[in-house]
Amino acid sequence: MNKKQNSLLRLGFSVALCVATLTVNADNAISASPVKSVQQASEKQVSGKVLDETGEPVIGATVTVKGTNLATVTDIDGNFSFKVPAGSTLVISYVGYSSKEVAASGTGLTISLSQDEEILNEVVVTALGIKKEAKSLSYNVQQLDGDAVTKVQDANFVNSLNGKVAGVQFSQNAAGVGSATRVVMRGIKSINGNNSALYVIDGIPMPNLQAGTTNDMFSGAGATGDSSSDINPSDIESISVLSGPSAAALYGSDASNGVIMITTKKGQQGRLDVTYTGSFQFSRPFVTHKFQNTYGPSSAGAFDSWGSKMSTPSAYDPNDFFQTGTNFTNNVAISTGNAQNQTYLSLGATNAEGLIHNNDFTRYNLNLRNTSKFANDKLTLDLSYTLSNIKEQNMISSGQYHNPLYTLYLFPAGGDWQGIQYYSRHNLERNLETQYWPWLDQNELMENPYWIAENERFINHKVRNMVIASLKWDVTDWLSLTGRVKYDNSQNRYEQKFAAGTKNLFASDAGFYGLRNQNSRQLYAEFLAQINKYWNDGEWSLTSVIGTNYDQRDISQESTSGNLSSVPNKFTLQNINPADPKFKLGQEYNERRRKEALLASAQLGYKSMAYLDLSARNDWSSALAPNNDSYFYWSAGLSGIWTEIFPAIKSNNWLNYLKTRLSYSVVGNDPSQTFLTTTTYAINGSSGPSLSTTMKNADLKPEKTNSWEAGIDFVLFQNRLKVNTTFYKSRTYNQFFNISLDPTTGYTNVWVNGGSVDNKGVELAARYNQPLGPVQWETYLTWTLNRNKVKEVDASYTDPQTGITYKASEDDLKLGGFNGTQNKVVVGGNLTDIYVRTLATGEHGEIYVDPQDHSVRKNANDYILAGHATPNYNLSWGNSFSWKGFNLGFLFNYRQGGIVVSLTESMMDAFGASKATEAARDAGGVTINGINGITPQAYYQTISSTTETVASMYVYSATNLRLAELSLGYDVPVTKAVPWIKGLNLSFVAHNLWMLYCKAPFDPELTANTGTYSQGIDNFMQPSSRTMGFSVKVKF
């Protein structure tokens, strides 16, 4: 096929895409024509031909009059012709080629475009903040610009990455706006250690204050965001995702689970620029449970819906409890500078209200950064100060304590819903407002949901100050020395305020108050020597870094809590009753972790076509005993660019770039907990010190992950199609296990090493650019597949005194789950496997139904495997279209496979509140194995329980397809009318706009916690949100 035939084929493809994407008119006829804007005054005819480097015509190139919306496109022979204002400048652009400007001087113009080498020579930010050409890397790095997280903005920018990078699973926390996001790269590697990605800002690691885990059916109130929710998305210049150990190895064990690298904005040389961005979004519940409203209570005053059918359906709908959530963000950024000094300042505010009254999130950010050069530009000083001030209230992810959804979802249909909205009554005897709830004596967990939202407050206030200083000395044109230091301080205040009238399970008649103050500090310093050397006329290149770093993290906290005494609702420490059993005075905790490291990396390149990567690091960690506190790991990689090694293969005009890469790495991971190897004592007032019940193990070693990674990257069709494919396999051994000991040893448990976990998978990212006439179209696709497997469980401890060996028991391997669900470690299994209780079965595996009373029974045997909570694969497809200042973007996310379990549906069944119980009663009973008329109440109250639910009846597929993002914007041409406005964009934005497929009764992408276990289990989680709103960006 010659070049012209190839061009014709691409033109045909473009026409077909136009047909598939352009709007259909009222007569179902599709019309499309080149845009020809004509101005009648001072016009002149301009015509010409657009050619490529070889002299072939460029079909479909866009020819625009600079500074206007006047445009046309070239025809099949590369020709164009249209009228333009006299004295105009033409801008000729085409995907895969560098744009070119020419004077509109008349007819007969011949314009030659050259291929855009920047596409092939893309520069990405790698470990330690070092910029490298993407083509030189032997591992996968995915980079996004800041627009990826600000176009459809979320309070936590990480949620906006979902679907835009491959190899990463994102799970949004159910606690509401600003909550933490669970990020897992290339599968779960550690059984009992940390599996969270590391966040790095401007090359320096950021401590990730964990949002906590929920491994029981009660807790979930008082959740908090993690470090990622402290960051102002508007300050982000770019994000690099280092999903593999080879890419992240230089950051040490903190990066064993991958890295999200954030490069923040800095001042730019030139005139003063002021940019305002604002977003105004409104949200409603997205995927909600279905409730029945035709059957009332079983008796007057009963808290259930097992009564007779009502003559008129109740108007009660639990979804009416939810309010319209709001999220208002405002940010002003100022940039100015000259060749020697640049300054950037931004002020941001996020004010959000969740779906539940008093679920609030506010964040105020300040970012000041100055970069200056001096000493003949040999020295570069980079100083930054960041402040985040965050207040969170009633961030409830799940659970039955302090969660209004527990009572709300189970409320009797036909009950006095209007009455309980007046949640308090004046108590004449006590002369204060107390809770109104007619069912106080029926269930110890239940309270008025409006009372909970108003009077059981969890208030978190976090202030974070971060200072970074960097000094770089360009010793020569090939050697530079850099010193960086960072001080990061977080002062956090966590309060619990339960008003008088709250159930006595939680508070006295006067109320309850709890206060925890926590101070977290990080001191980080590093010194790097960087070499960028070319020799032999550029034939050979060497990029090398040698350095050392120091990372010390301190946490100190103290907490006091208890029931209030004499003065109701006076939430002070002085008002806590010290004689009450709930009283806990001045509990203090102090922790210090220190890590020191030596590191080195080198990349040797030959003729920009072949590269060898080597890196090594040695850590000394205070979390391990002196005999094991030093551990070494390394990585090596090779990459070859075959289109440079064999240039002839590029002559076919469709293959522009072909690269293969291979890398291997060994990465360590020290324990996420402290004090596992050294004996410690707790001091309890007058009773003196007490020994920990956990035996210390000085032989504890770091986990190690060995990982292979191979990839192929190629660019096709004149740089329009880019594909990056990565295959990986890893094994993490020396797993941490907590095993039980005989109490006669004086201890209850000990941490040991043993066992291994395998992960293997594929990452695919593809991006395609194609002009559709005057419309610029870009589409991208990401595909992620991971397989997780427990390879070995070999955890044991031999008591040096008695010689007795203790092995991990079955209970030691049960690490999550509750109420009929379990997570346990089984050889050959997945770490997210969910085991469930089942009903008794007959000899052929069918559900056993008693022939006498038609009842079913719970299986007395152990739990059975229902499936795993992780997807089989994730697929995302995004698109963007731009035309004459209009821009349209949308993103579909598809998850295939995995399971979820809804304990919420179980409890709704038990109380007769679900649609399933309504259908069963309407049908005259439950039908099992062809046996009709099984009593619905007896059946559902057998399979549902507050302690041992038959969870196998509540397992659902997690497969879902959604329109995850939508944006429609317009660049308003205001510059001519208002010269001091340099740009104005107005956009409609939406998130979770449309769920196209989902069989689960809740959003399967939600999580109640950011930990490893109890994933995929719904226990009265808040619903996810459908968000719509508007954004504005003005540049002055």
Q: Is residue 160 scored above 50 in pLDDT?
A: yes
Question: Using alpha carbons only, what angle is made at residue 283 by residues 282 and 287, rounded to the nearest 5 degrees?
Answer: 165
Nearest alpha carbon to residue 760 among 725, 729, 726: 729
The answer to whether 676 and 751 have CB atoms below 8 angstroms apart is yes
Predicted local distance difference test score (pLDDT) of residue 180 = 86
Contact (Cβ atoms closer than 8 angstroms) between residue 703 and residue 628: no
Buried b (16+ CB within 10 A) or exposed e, 412-436: bbbbebeebeebbeeeeeeebbbbb
**134-143, 205-214, 613-622, 731-740: which has the minimum mean pLDDT?**
205-214
Contacting residues for 980 by C-beta, under 8 A, at least 6 apart: 1036
Which residue has 């249909």 as its token pair? 413
DSSP line for 118-149: HHHT-EEE-GGG-EEEGGG-SS--EEEETHHH
**How many other CB atoms are there within 10 angstroms of residue 358's CB atom?**
18
Write out 653-695 in H/E/C secondary structure. Answer: CCEEEEEEEEEEEEEEECCCCCCCCCCCEEECHHHCEEECCEE
Task: List, in sequence order, every beta strand (DSSP E) within 202-322.
Answer: 204-206, 236-242, 259-264, 270-285
pLDDT digits (tens, 9 = 90+) for 788-797: 999 999 889 9
* Parallel, antiparallel or unpaired: strands 983-998 and 960-971: antiparallel
Confidence grade of residue 745 (pLDDT, cut at 50, 70, 90): confident
Q: What is the pLDDT of residues 356-402, one digit of tens each?
A: 999 999 999 999 999 999 999 999 999 999 999 999 999 988 888 99
Residue 60 has pLDDT above 60, yes or no: yes
CA dist 808 and 806 (Å) reads: 7
Q: Which amino acid is at 690?
A: S
Q: Are 35 and 62 in contact (CB under 8 A)?
A: no
Instruction: Output the CA torsion sign for 943, 945, 950, 953.
Output: positive
Q: What is the mean pLDDT of residues 333-346?
A: 94
Residues β-bridged to residue 630: 620
Average pLDDT taken over every residue of the chain: 88
Dist. CA 35–CA 886, nearest whole Å:
14
Token duo for residue 149: 């997280």
CB of 748 within 8 A of CB of 726? no
Domain 33-115 has CATH 3.90.1200.10: no
Provide the pLDDT confidence category of residue 694 given band limits of 50, 70 and 90. confident
Q: Scanning the structure block, which residue is given the tokens 């295959």? A: 727
Q: Are 950 and 837 in contact (CB under 8 A)?
A: yes
**Single-letter amino acid, residue 346:** S
Residue at 167: amino acid letter: G
Q: Categorize the per-residue pLDDT at 14 as very low, low, confident or very high, splitting at 50, 70 and 90.
A: very low
Give the pLDDT score at 221: 66
Cα separation of 141 and 727, whole Å?
13
Contacts of 241 (CB under 8 A, 6+ apart): 141, 142, 143, 144, 161, 165, 167, 168, 185, 258, 259, 260, 261
Asked if 610 and 641 count as a contact pair (C-beta separation under 8 A), the reply is yes
Residue 675 neighbours by CB under 8 Å, 6+ apart: 591, 692, 696
Look at residue 215 in the predicted model and tell me its pLDDT: 54
List pLDDT tens digits, range 536-551. 888 899 999 999 999 9
For the ranges 79-83, 244-248, 540-544, the lowest mean pLDDT is seen at 244-248
- So what's the pLDDT on residue 34? 37
> Tell me, what's the pLDDT at 917?
96
Which of 811, 713, 820 is CA-nearest to residue 767? 713
> Hey, what are 998's tokens?
């989902």
Q: Domain residue spans in the chain?
A: 33-115, 123-591+741-784+872-898+958-1035
The span from the CA of 590 to the CA of 715, in Å, is 54
Any idea which of 723-732, 775-784, 973-982 has the lowest mean pLDDT?
973-982
Amino acid, single-letter form, for residue 299: S
pLDDT at residue 39, rounded to an integer: 39
